[in-house]
Structure 1
């Protein structure tokens, strides 16, 4: 359709490909890219925040751990523990009172200089005596007959063999009048530096509310949940509820976890000292909410921009295209007139060449009639005249073109007519045409001058019977199909390079007519004296449609 070749259509296509399509792609892709950047930046920021949180918690755990090495820093405490380990309850009254006073007072004194949020310490001598140290004037009493050695945190400390053991959240049920709530602790076994003998068990307790104070200073961009997990991935402290299923997913180290009502991105940091983990869950719902807002605004701005550019485009294109259309229309008409003039000139040249051919043909045929008359062959002459009338009817038809089938039928009549002149030595001819190309059009009488040259210059000069072969075949596949026409004789032949151009009028006439009818056709001539002459014409089939 003509509309697809118009300047407006091409300009609209350019506008669509350079403005509209990129804008739509940006509207779709940019929000998702923004979301990806948003998630990555949030993860990085959260990770950096957790690193700071981890350092604060490690500093706090260091303070708790320092409380557990107090006995090693005080010779009186170590001596008292050695006495308790060696004599136990069998020591005399003075020794018992002295060691008990030393251990009780020392723990109380050290507690006064520790952090306010450290709840206290508990020291269990080898003989089972329990000593408590508390902050301020609060006096705690140990629970009577409490099974310390059966507790998991006690056994874990024994397995540490003198190293600090970090105890997860647990109740202070070993203190009879302790306030409600849970604590986390650092414990160790006190050993005799000389004999490596176990002297006592010491544990420093801190209220889990201290973790709330540390975490409360953290500010994250999105709705998040923070938890401190122990080495068994159990919650020590969390800002919100962590279900067992969520804890199992965290323990399996999933990058994202699901809860009943949301999905979370997981960012964590390990507390190397305690083998605990700080875990932050970032709500994907909160991220999607912010992403949805950005996406909505992006679409609105994009649509607004597209509508604005469409209005501008329509206004400017109408202003630009109107004079261009007029100019293009004038140019089109001028080119059309020029093409018609060229076609008319081409047809005039074609008819001129054809007009040159017809007298030449008649002259040669009439010469043949004279020869038949001199020989007295009246019947042959009469037959020749009838054949000539049929040929003249074909020649004088008001048409510049004929099909290959019609042209070959004419060549049959022409060869029969010419063979009458060579009754003594005679000549044979063979005409063959591929049925697939019989309807292909050629300039009328295109091939007759070639046959005439074969007879006059190839057969007449020699005293033997000759053969003229005329064939037309289709070559190539559908896309590159062509027609090959071959005119070949085994007559006298000639040397193409030494022929006088004045004797090549017929060949030049054929070549010019072929060029005018089919500009991309080919014309090949090969001849050898004493062997014969061969002419090959090739015409692309698609040229007939054009």
Structure 2
């Protein structure tokens, strides 16, 4: 019945969703995605072509500008007197020359470099150094001067110029710290070693410092219609110019052309071109998110189409649910009530189709199931309760019979005072035994054992010592009445009475954890005569068999363990899972 309801209900919902996805949503999703990607690719390709053409023009301009800076450092070679003047200033005889000779040399050098300073606004200064000593400088600040005792040997540009073998080297942006007035200004420079023409012996190093005014003018009017960064890198991949702040780590390693990179939360498409012949890189970083925004209208239209389709599908689903799923849900509701034990539940949904037949069949099945349970299951329960009652009633006359036999023995030996006291204690026990309840607490059962032990001690005297103990937490747990008394009686009659020496009888209840399960353990131990367990069935001990059956009827998961040997006493252990007590309390 349960599987039939599930087969009717779940596939109808799943088929409706599956058909809608296959027939409408999936083709629409694939078509929209392909259209969007084609548009993005074409737009990116067109933008890339436009940027490539722009970068070609910019790289040609940059190449020309770098060539001009390269030619600027060749000025000393255009005039033999310039070279001669530098050789003289670098020689030791320069210090002994007259002021007229020094002024003539200085004016000649200044006349050569003054033209460059006045015609090139981007050139901030020109400095010539030889053997860590400044020979001549020219700056656009008349108050500027070279820092005294400046260690030019320690600068990277000086060492690079010496290692370049007379070729020009471009220096990454750095501080102009060798001048007093402009030491905090950042410049990028070109440096070259000036050599004596015949011998190629190094005479000095010339460095020309330029600001970024030319680069700013070159890039300021460039517009790619999306937010972008323009970055210029030298041959060592140092940033020479950037119109916006960028992270240098983006270019290590150098990203591929038309690739996508991320800088924090922003992503960019890379378009780059090499500035020949200097191996500089001109890079444009286009905001990739803005490029994708140009296709947003495609996604908006597709989202609108999705919403319309979902609304239509939802309305159709609601109509189909009222038409078909209503009876199915009512059938499932009825079956769930039956599963929970409510056999009065019936199907009441009225339709004019096959569901009426199914509903009437369900009602008939529930009625027949109810009758079958009442006839079979209830009868089994009544039979089980009857067996339990019978076992319970067996123990009472057996207990009284044994006690009366004890009283007869006391009378025969003339112990009339003990007999009178025993009869009084017996009345207390009879009130407990004749109580109509079948269950009692573990505490009351152990109290009965104490009373019973005191009666037996009147008879055996020093030969019998009874010790009863119980863990506090388990005292309220319910057990069958007179569950332990037959076991204690057997221990006294068959284990202690045959011996003429003092014996000890222990009855203890506690908890123990075994294999992750918490058990309530009840132990009945004596150090009496013991017996051969292989012949236990032939002893006619009704107490053992009765206790086992009553224990299993009340606690199906309980364990009854018996260990004994001749001359070593007897040990009986009852193990009951604590969960059984909780279940019995809830059911009671």
TM bucket normalised to smaller: 0.5 to 0.7
Q: Which residue of 2 is the match for residue 429 of structure 1?
A: 466
Instruction: Give the 3 Å change call, closer, same or farther, for CA 266–344 of structure 1 in structure 2.
Output: same
User: How far does the alpha carbon of each residue in 1:436-469 deviate from its partner, in whole angstroms, 9 at most, with x for none?
Assistant: 2221111100001101111121122222232211
User: How far does the alpha carbon of each residue in 1:153-178 deviate from its partner, in whole angstroms, 9 at most, with x for none?
Assistant: 8999x999998999xxxxxxxxxxxx
Q: Which residue of 2 is the match for residue 147 of structure 1?
A: 115
Q: Which residue of 1 is the match for residue 509 of structure 2?
A: 472
Q: Which residue of 2 is the match for residue 507 of structure 1?
A: 544
User: How far does the alpha carbon of each residue in 1:223-262 deviate from its partner, in whole angstroms, 9 at most, with x for none?
Assistant: 3558585859788xxxxxxxxxx6251485667789xxx9
User: Counterparts of 2:308 and 2:425 in 1: how far apart (Å)?
Assistant: 82
Q: Which residue of 2 is the match for residue 189 of structure 1?
A: none
Q: TM-score, normalised by structure 1?
A: 0.56
User: Counterparts of 2:168 and 2:437 in 1: how far apart (Å)?
Assistant: 116
| CA-atom RMSD in angstroms | 6.1
Pair 1:525 & 2:525 matched: no
Which SS does the other structure have where 1:493 is aligned? coil
Residues 148 and 154 in structure 1, CA contact (< 8 A), matched pair in contact too? no
User: Counterparts of 1:161 and 1:530 in 2: how far apart (Å)?
Assistant: 114
Residues 63 and 278 in structure 2, CA contact (< 8 A), matched pair in contact too? no
Q: Which residue of 1 is the match for residue 403 of structure 2?
A: 365
Aligned residue pairs total 406
Instruction: Give the 3 Å change call, closer, same or farther, for CA 163–421 of structure 1 in structure 2.
Output: closer
Pair 1:544 & 2:581 matched: yes
User: Counterparts of 1:380 and 1:53 in 2: how far apart (Å)?
Assistant: 126
Q: TM-score, normalised by structure 2?
A: 0.52
Q: Which residue of 2 is the match for residue 247 of structure 1?
A: 243
Match runs of 1:123-142 below 5 Å: none
Residues 52 and 271 in structure 2, CA contact (< 8 A), matched pair in contact too? no
Q: Which residue of 1 is the match for residue 194 of structure 2?
A: none
Residue 326 of structure 1 deviates from its aligned partner by 2.7
Residue 61 of structure 1 deviates from its aligned partner by 7.9
Q: Which residue of 2 is the match for residue 269 of structure 1?
A: 272
Which SS does the other structure have where 1:354 is aligned? helix
User: Counterparts of 2:304 and 2:543 in 1: how far apart (Å)?
Assistant: 76
Residues 467 and 489 in structure 1, CA contact (< 8 A), matched pair in contact too? yes
Match runs of 1:301-340 below 5 Å: 301=306, 305=310, 308=313, 311=317, 318-331=326-339, 332=341, 333=343, 340=378
Which SS does the other structure have where 1:446 is aligned? coil
Which SS does the other structure have where 1:520 is aligned? coil
User: Counterparts of 1:323 and 1:54 in 2: how far apart (Å)?
Assistant: 74
User: Counterparts of 1:287 and 1:399 in 2: how far apart (Å)?
Assistant: 87
Q: Which runs of 5+ in 2 are unaligned?
A: 19-32, 69-77, 81-112, 129-160, 171-196, 201-214, 251-260, 344-368, 584-588
User: Counterparts of 1:251 and 1:474 in 2: how far apart (Å)?
Assistant: 70
Of residues 417, 429, 435, the one that matches 1:397 is 435
Which SS does the other structure have where 1:543 is aligned? helix
Of residues 283, 286, 289, the one that matches 1:279 is 283
Which SS does the other structure have where 1:367 is aligned? helix
Residues 484 and 539 in structure 1, CA contact (< 8 A), matched pair in contact too? yes
Which SS does the other structure have where 1:499 is aligned? helix
Residues 523 and 537 in structure 1, CA contact (< 8 A), matched pair in contact too? yes
Q: Which runs of 5+ in 1 are unaligned?
A: 1-5, 20-32, 69-83, 87-144, 167-192, 197-207, 236-245
Residue 473 of structure 1 deviates from its aligned partner by 1.8
User: Counterparts of 1:368 and 1:303 in 2: how far apart (Å)?
Assistant: 96
User: Counterparts of 1:503 and 1:470 in 2: how far apart (Å)?
Assistant: 23
Which SS does the other structure have where 1:369 is aligned? helix
Residues 51 and 269 in structure 1, CA contact (< 8 A), matched pair in contact too? no
User: Counterparts of 1:422 and 1:303 in 2: how far apart (Å)?
Assistant: 97
User: Counterparts of 1:472 and 1:226 in 2: how far apart (Å)?
Assistant: 85
